[in-house]
Structure 1
């Protein structure tokens, strides 16, 4: 996780490919909470303003 703003419910993931992916709290798997620096896995979908992360979950 590059950063996540809990108040505004969104953030960005720095992908291994160098792309920043937008993530909204609605894109998190149920019960998942994320913080800056967490390693995550996700699916990429086309968002209104570029690539968006969905089904986000923490990895080890």
Structure 2
């Protein structure tokens, strides 16, 4: 989904840190955590909505 595209900068920053020994500022690390938390919350709420729709009785 479009929400998961937001993970690309976080992965790029992590790979830069791991492979090229680039430094991450604390603000960049916090930003990455916020982005990951937002992705998890967005995916969780969409799964929760789909589950509620499946449990609802069909209209007559």
Asked whether the two chains share a fold, i.e. TM above 0.5, the reply is no
Q: Computing the radius of gyration over CA atoms, which structure comes out larger, 1 or 2?
A: 2
Greater fraction helix: 2
Instruction: Considering Cα pairs closer than 8 Å and 6+ residues apart, tell me whether 1 or 2 has the greater RCO.
Output: 2
Normalising by structure 2, we get a TM-score of 0.17
